[in-house]
Structure formats: C-alpha cells, structure tokens
Amino acid sequence: MRTRFAAVVAGALGVAVATAACGSTGGSSSGTSANTTASKVNFGAQNARLCGSAVNTTPHYTNTIGTISGGAKTLSGAGSTFAAPMYDQWASSYNKASGVAVAYASIGSGGGIAAFQANTVAFGDGDTGMTPAEISQAKGGAVLQIPLLLGAVVPTYNLPGIPAGLKFTGNVLGEIYAHKITNWDDPALKKLNPGVKLPNMPIAVVHRSDGSGTTNIWTNYLTQTSPTWVSTLGGPSKSEGLTVAWPTGIGGKGNEGVSAAIAETKGALGYVEADYAISEHLTYGQVQNKAGNWIEPCIATVVPAVDGVKFPPSLNTFLTNGSNPDVYPIVGTTYALVYEHQTSKATAAALVNFFAWVLTAGQDENAKLYYAPLGASLQKLAYAQLKKITVNGRPVA
C-alpha cells in the first residue's frame, strides 16, 4: 500500500515536472515572431525609388533661445504613444546634454490630454492636439500646441508567408474595421493584390482600447475615404475621434499593445505608428493616396504631407489624405501641450529649455526612429510658440 502510494505520488510529480519543462521550452516559440519573410519588401520599383531618395534628416536647426537659467531638474509629462519612442530617445539624449530628467509616461493622447487638463503633469502630448471644448476644460488656462515630429500610421498585419507590401485602399480598410470584410481571402482584398495567395483566415482586427491620437488620425482618414465606415458608425461625427465605438476587434493598450497583439495573433490587422512596425519586424502594407498612387510609408513619403497645408494660429490641423502625388496618405504629427501662462519659473524654464532643444538638436534624431523631422516652415511656427510662454506676465524666452 505504501509503496504503491509512493509510486503514484512520484509518478504524478514526475509528470508535473515534465509537463512544465515541455511548457517552458515549447511555449517560448509562441507567435512573437510575426513573419520570417518580413525582410522581403514588396512595395514595387516606384516606391523603392521614392523611399531610397535622399531626404535631409538632419536639418540642424539653430537654437536662438539659448538655455534659460533656473530650470527644474525634473519634468513630468504624459501622453501619446505615437510619439513615445521619440520622447524616450529625446529624454535620454537631453539628459546627457543638460542633466535634466524628463519623465514621459506613454499613456495615449487621451491620457495626455486628461492629465494636462487636470494639471497633474507639467506638459501633455496629443497627436491631434486639443479641441476648443477640451481646452475650455483645462485648469491652467490658455494652451499652446507645439508640433514636434511627423510620423506615419501604417496598416500592419501578421500573415505567415505573406511579405510586406500588401495593397490597401482607404475604403477597404474602412470596410474591414466596420466588420464588413471579415476574411483575408475576401474578393476585395484579392482584387487589390492579384499576385498574392491570401489565406482563408479570419481577419483579427486590432484597434486601440484607450483614447488615442493615432486612432484619431486613422479614423479621420477612414472617414474621408470610406463611406461604409462612416455609415456603419452612424455618421461623420461618430466615425472619427480619440475613441470610436469599434464594431469589432481586439483592443490593445497604446501603440505598444496594438503592435504586440498583431505580433501574437495570426491573421491580425492593426494600425500603428511606423517605428513600432519597423522595430518589431512586423509586415506592413502600402496605401493608395488621393492621386491614385500606391505609396509605401517612409520618411520621404511622410515629409510632403505638410505641402499646401494652411496651419491655423493654434497649429492644430490634420495632415491626412494629402494631394501630393508622392505623399503617404496617413500621416500625423504630435502636439506637445503646454500652458501659455505658467505659475512656476523653474517649470517654465525647464519646459522652454527642453522643447527648444527638441525643436532644434532633437530634430536631428527623429530619423533614427523612423520619424521625419519637421520641415523648415513648420519648425519655425512651432518654435514661435515657445516664445509665447510667460511666467507672471513676463515672457520666459
């Protein structure tokens, strides 16, 4: 009896350990690697020419403001995940250059706006700035919106065996997100991609679960190009925004969560900022722009998005669906949110110093993470905003 019992227990524990060992080695090869053929880019010769062309990614803007003394040693900011990798990089470089530690929390544009309104952070960041209604809710009064970079929102997918470069139109993307196209081998997708053997697999739509400027840019584009999307959501006022009532899909937290969900889910399609897709070796596609050309998202096709755009005094405007024949249609910027009338000289000085650096020396680093630096005219407008910051009525810069 005792030996039989001992044998049972030993056997059970042995099975337990063996299963665990199998689990630990077998499980590690889960779906984190999205696509072994991801390196085989398939965007066509035209795009190879466009994206290979030289772009000035180190404009070396001059910092005429200089360093203001008396700035705080730490700065607290929060917001957009679209720009978060760049903020992390800027913060690290700026810390080496000045010793100031800028703590940026990547919580989404909605979070950045909320924290900024509640004045729980020194600055916020939203990819689509703040609406007049949101500004009226901000505790600190008048708000300056300062664009800092240009980036692309790219349709990213996880299809084993399918390389990068799948073609999408705005309308097809809208229909996918409206849950009208539900399978990868749908005729609409096959028509756009005649040479590709699309699998018979349900599309795992991925969107944001948090309030997101990336969503705002994406849905703004869908609203302009997909009548199906607009009607499914119930009209143009409901089909775009920081959050929308997504008819279907997996919700990821931040660009980080969406890119992770795409990487882990076979058949996934989601929208993320280009750095996330490229750094994580995910496959993304090309989109047809307003002029009818199929454009690959890269720095060269992002920069023309500001052509012909009339920036209002607040600098807040969309950059999607540009008319330049070589422009990628889903481009956005990110707006740092700063109160015009500051109450603390130390914070004000730290803010001006940091953003003056970001808009000059910092711009030379954008391309390292696949963002585009601001063009000269937009940079000048952004820089001018810094000069409006005052403390107790006196300008800081």
Partner 1 sequence: MTVPATTSTSPVPVRSLQTRRRYGDRTFRLAMLGAAGVVVLVLLAMVVFLVAESWPALAHYGPLSFLGSDRWAPSDATAASTRPNPYGIVQFIYGTVLTSVIGLLIAVPMSVGIALFITGIAPAWLRRPLSYLVDLLASIPSVVFGFWGIFALIPALQPVVSFLIATLGKVPVIGGVFAGPFFGLSYFTAGIVLAIMVLPIVTALCREIFATTPADEREAALALGMTRWEMLRTAVLPRSRAGIMGAAILGLGRAFGETIAVTMVIGNNVLSITKSIFSTGATMASVIANEFTEAVEPFHLDSLFVVAMWLLFISLIVNIVGKLWVRRIRGDLVW
Partner 2 sequence: MTVFLAALVAVAVAVLAWVLTYVAAQGLKYLGPAFFTHTPPGNPASYGGGYANGIVGSLIIVGLATLISVPFGVAAAVAIVEYGGRFTAAVSFITDVLVGVPTIVTGAFIYVIWVTHFGFSGLAGSFALALVMLPLVIRATAEMLRLVPVHLREASAALGVSRARTIVSVVLPSARAGITTGVFLAVARAMGETAPLLLTALGNQEFMQLHPTQRMSTLSLQIFTDAITGFQAAQARAWAGALTLIIIVLLFAIGARVIGRRTSVTRS
Can you give the binding site for partner 2, defined by CB under 8 A? Answer: 5, 8-9, 12-13, 15-17, 19-21, 23-25, 27-28, 32, 74, 76, 78, 84-85, 88-93, 95, 101, 103-107, 115, 118-121, 252-254, 256-263, 275-276, 279-280, 282, 368-369
From the CB of 344, what's the least distance to partner 1, in Å?
Answer: 23
Residue 77: C-alpha distances to residues 27, 181, 210, 242, 296 (Å): 37, 39, 18, 19, 32
Is 135 or 146 the residue whose CB approaches partner 1 more closely? 135
C-beta separation of 340 from 313 below 8 A: no
Q: Give the closest residue to 205 by CA, choosing from 246, 177, 181.
A: 177
Is 256 or 364 the residue whose CB approaches partner 2 more closely? 256
256 binds, among partner 1, partner 2, none (CB under 5 to 8 A by kind): partner 2
From the CB of 173, what's the least distance to partner 2, in Å?
Answer: 20
Angle between helices 345-359 and 84-98 (to 10 degrees): 110
Q: Which tokens in the block code for residue 71?
A: 């700035």
From the CB of 235, what's the least distance to partner 2, in Å?
Answer: 33
Is 112 or 373 the residue whose CB approaches partner 1 more closely? 112
279 binds, among partner 1, partner 2, none (CB under 5 to 8 A by kind): partner 2
285 binds, among partner 2, partner 1, none (CB under 5 to 8 A by kind): none
Angle between helices 109-117 and 213-225 (to 10 degrees): 120
Burial pattern 248-273, b for ≥16 Cβ within 10 A else e, equals ebbebbbbbbbbbbbbbbbbbbbbbb
Size of the chain, expressed as the number of residues it contains: 397
From the CB of 323, what's the least distance to partner 1, in Å?
Answer: 28
Is 37 or 243 the residue whose CB approaches partner 1 more closely? 243
Residue 183, helix vs strand vs coil:
strand
Is 257 or 297 the residue whose CB approaches partner 1 more closely? 257
What is the enclosing helix (H) or strand (E) of 147? strand 143-158
From the CB of 186, what's the least distance to partner 2, in Å?
Answer: 26
112 binds, among partner 2, partner 1, none (CB under 5 to 8 A by kind): partner 1
Phi and psi angles of residue 67, each rounded to the nearest 5 degrees, phi first = -85, 125
CB atoms near residue 118 (< 10 Å): 13
265 binds, among partner 2, partner 1, none (CB under 5 to 8 A by kind): partner 1
Q: Cite the beta strand spans of 264-312 per DSSP E.
A: 268-273, 283-284, 286-288, 294-295
Is 30 or 200 the residue whose CB approaches partner 2 more closely? 30
From the CB of 363, what's the least distance to partner 2, in Å?
Answer: 16
From the CB of 93, what's the least distance to partner 2, in Å?
Answer: 7
From the CB of 11, what's the least distance to partner 1, in Å?
Answer: 14
Chain contacts with partner 1 (rule: CB under 8 A)? 5, 9, 23-24, 26-28, 30-32, 78, 107-115, 117, 134, 137, 202, 204, 209-211, 238, 241-253, 260-261, 264-265, 267-268
SS (H, E, C) 88-144: HHHHHHHHHHHCCEEEEEECCHHHHHHHHHCCCCCEEEECCCCCHHHHHCCCCCCEE
**What's the CA gap between 293 and 327, in Å, rounded?**
9
C-beta separation of 308 from 244 below 8 A: no
Is 184 or 276 the residue whose CB approaches partner 2 more closely? 276
202 binds, among partner 2, partner 1, none (CB under 5 to 8 A by kind): partner 1
Is 165 or 241 the residue whose CB approaches partner 1 more closely? 241
Is 110 or 252 the residue whose CB approaches partner 2 more closely? 252
**What's the CA gap between 317 and 211, in Å, rounded?**
18
Q: Cite the beta strand spans of 159-211 per DSSP E.
A: 167-168, 204-208
From the CB of 260, what's the least distance to partner 1, in Å?
Answer: 8
